[in-house]
Amino acid sequence: MAKSAEENYEGVWDSRLGFGNKSALVVIDLLKGYTTEGSDLYAPGVVDCVKEMPELLEAAREARILIFHTQVRYNPTNFIDGGVWIKKAPVLKVLVEGNPLAEICDEVKPAEGETLITKQYASVFFGTSFSATLTAAGVDTLIITGCTTSGCVRATAVDCVQNGFRPICVRECIGDRHEGPHEANLFDINAKYGDVISKAEALEYLRGLA
C-alpha cells in the first residue's frame, strides 16, 4: 500500500527551524483585488486570511517587532517593470497606482512607522532592499503572512531561507484562490524551506515577547 505524503516525508523532510533571536513580520500583498468579488484576482482564501490578520497584527505591534507590508505596482503606460512575468500573468495589470483594486485592504493598512515595500515580482526579496534591511536590523526570523500561498508567499519563503533567514509561515494568515494549491504549497514550505505554524502558536510567541 502506498504511503501518504505525510508518511513518505516523515523523518526526511519534516525538521523544524523554530524562532531565532529576533523576528520581523511581513504582510504580503493583502490588496483589495484579492478580496473584491468580481475581480479577476478574487481569492476566497485571501478573504479568510484578511479576517484573521488584525489580531496577529495587534500582537506584533504590542511585541514591538518590525512590521513590513508589501504591495505590487506597475508602470501603467507599458508595464515594462513587470517583465516577462506580467506577460505570463496579465491579470496583474490592475495593480497600478490609482486603481482601487491595488489598494491595501482597510483591515490591514500599515500603521505609522511600519515599512511599505513596493515590488514587481513574486518574492519580497527580489529586486528590493529587504534582505539588507533585515540584516541591518539584526533580524534572523521572518514571520510570513499574506497572499498568495502558491505565488508570493512561497517565493518569499524560498528566498527567505536562501538569504539566511528563518521563514515562519502562519497558516490561518495566508490565503490563495483555491484550497488545493494552498495546501500543497504549505506542505512543501513546511517540508523543505521553513516552518508552517498555527495562528495560536504565533500569538503565543508574540505575546511572550510583549
Active site residues: 152
Helices (H) and strands (E) in the chain, counts: 7, 6
Distance CA 31, CA 124 (A): 15
Distance CA 157, CA 191 (A): 12
From residue 132, give the alpha-carbon distance in Å to each of 44, 100, 125, 129: 34, 31, 9, 5
| DSSP H/E element including 24 | strand 23-28
Question: Within a 10 A sphere around the Cβ of 133, how many other Cβ atoms?
Answer: 15
Q: Of 41, 21, 51, which Cα lies nearest the Cα of 145?
A: 51
From residue 105, give the alpha-carbon distance in Å to each of 34, 141, 167: 9, 25, 24
Q: How many residues does the chain have?
A: 210
